[in-house]
Amino acid sequence: MADNLHDDIVEHLDWIQSTISQVDTSSQQVQKELLAMLQQQIARFEIKDGRFIASQDLRQRMVIIEQKFEDILTGKLYTNAIKDYLGTFSTIAEVNATLHQNYNDLQVKASLLEPARRVVYEQAREAMYGSGIDSQFKEPVKHLLLQKVTTGASISDMEKILDRWTTGDLSGRQDTFGKPLPNLSQYNSQVARDTSYQFNGTVNQIIKEEYGLDGIKYVGGTVRDSRPLCVHLVNLRRDISNEELAKFLEDPNLKPGRIPGTTVENFCTYRGGYNCIHGAFPIRMQSK
């Protein structure tokens, strides 16, 4: 039964990662549309000797770019991909409820998890549709283009910058005036990763508190730069009581990379630290 639980959690985490990969793939396709649009638009700017000239119609041209940005990000390719992703939060809640029914003999009501689902849904929706994507993705690109035009940069340099932007090679470079410039797949993949694993952890934290579960099973893979605590817990490959987890959290050798304030009480949510993709599944130790 324990080995089956481990395998089922792994399958669930793999599924979460697949939904993030789908967001990444769709965002890459939309990124290519944005690149083609910007290449087409900058070719229409006033240029002399291969360099931009800040002409009187610059503001109008930027308005056109703004509108075309909006057209692409409200098109079916993008909106359908994000709509599909936002639906995964319901599945995450349902799968965890089923796992707890099968392995902890709990009947988890959907109403218990619904408030948390609504919160993370709105967080992700705002980041991918609303003010988040405006401030973190659209505005930095427009700001960079405007600065290049007003400083008389060469159009060939701007084209190279846009190419590097699309391939994900513009993170704090000098030619972005020191500001990180993520492409759409980088931005959305990070949002999806944060919200998916955060919600998966939050669901299990809610269930652990509601039903007084007193242990966890820690599941996931490790890589070269995995945090010491994650490596230690994953390698145990066994159930871990709250008391034992508390000792691990006090171990100074296992503290690097953790979120400050991580405790037994919030561990299912925080797990190993920021961007942690492991699963901390609460269990009932006394029945073991």
SS (H, E, C) the chain: CHHHHHHHHHHHHHHHHHHHHHHHHHHHHHHHHHHHHHHHHHCCCCEECCEECCCCCHHHHHHHHHHHHHHHHCCHHHHHHHHHHHCHHHHHHHHHHHHHHHHHCCCCCHHHHHHHHHHHHHHHHHHHHCHHHHHHHHHHHHHHHHHHHHCCCEHHHHHHHHHHHHCCCCCCCHHHCCCCCCCHHHHHHHHHHHHHHHHHHHHHHHHHHHHCCCEEEEECCCCCCCCHHHHHHHHHCCCEEHHHHHHHHHCHHHCCCCCCCCCHHHHHHHCCCCCCCCEEEEECHHHC
Task: Tell me what pLDDT residue 288 has.
Answer: 47
Structural domain total, the chain: 2
Q: Is the pLDDT of residue 3 over 80?
A: no
Judgement on whether residues 143 and 260 belong to the same structural domain of the protein: no
Judgement on whether residues 108 and 231 belong to the same structural domain of the protein: no
Judgement on whether residues 53 and 110 belong to the same structural domain of the protein: yes
Judgement on whether residues 24 and 131 belong to the same structural domain of the protein: yes
Task: Tell me what pLDDT residue 85 has.
Answer: 97
Judgement on whether residues 168 and 227 belong to the same structural domain of the protein: no
Q: Is the pLDDT of residue 176 over 80?
A: no
Cα gap 43→36, rounded to integer Å: 11
pLDDT in tens, 145-163: 998 899 999 999 999 999 9
Task: Give domain status of residue 274, yes or no.
Answer: yes
Judgement on whether residues 120 and 247 belong to the same structural domain of the protein: no
Task: Give domain status of residue 195, yes or no.
Answer: no
Task: Give domain status of residue 23, yes or no.
Answer: yes
Q: Is 94 exposed, middle or buried (0-12, 13-18, 19+ CB in 10 A)?
A: middle
pLDDT in tens, 200-248: 999 999 999 999 999 999 999 998 889 999 999 999 999 999 999 999 9
Judgement on whether residues 71 and 157 belong to the same structural domain of the protein: yes
Task: Give domain status of residue 221, yes or no.
Answer: yes
Task: Tell me what pLDDT residue 1 has.
Answer: 47
Residue 271 CA to its chain's centroid (Å): 16
Task: Give domain status of residue 208, yes or no.
Answer: no
Task: Give domain status of residue 237, yes or no.
Answer: yes
Judgement on whether residues 151 and 252 belong to the same structural domain of the protein: no
Average pLDDT over residues 187-207: 96
Question: Where a domain ends, among 154, 188, 222?
Answer: 188
Judgement on whether residues 178 and 79 belong to the same structural domain of the protein: yes
Judgement on whether residues 60 and 147 belong to the same structural domain of the protein: yes
pLDDT in tens, 12-63: 999 999 999 999 999 999 999 999 999 999 999 999 999 999 888 888 999 9
User: Of 278, 108, 87, which Cα lies nearest the Cα of 203?
Assistant: 108
Q: Is the pLDDT of residue 170 over 50?
A: yes
The tokens of 20 are what? 């993030």
pLDDT in tens, 108-127: 999 999 999 999 999 999 99
User: Of 205, 201, 187, 211, which Cα lies nearest the Cα of 139?
Assistant: 187
Judgement on whether residues 169 and 265 belong to the same structural domain of the protein: no
Q: What is the pTM of this model?
A: 0.91
The label of the residue with tokens 């944060």 reads: 194
Task: Tell me what pLDDT residue 211 has.
Answer: 96
Task: Give domain status of residue 205, yes or no.
Answer: no
Contact (CB, 8 A) for 203 and 92: yes
- Domain interval for residue 220: 214-287
Task: Tell me what pLDDT residue 171 has.
Answer: 57
Task: Tell me what pLDDT residue 127 has.
Answer: 96
- Give exposure, 46-78, as e/b (b: 16+ Cβ within 10 Å): eeeeebbeeeeebeebbeebeebbeebbeeeeb
Judgement on whether residues 159 and 239 belong to the same structural domain of the protein: no
Cα gap 69→46, rounded to integer Å: 20
In single-letter form, the type of residue at position 157 comes to: D
Cα gap 23→2, rounded to integer Å: 32
Task: Give domain status of residue 65, yes or no.
Answer: yes
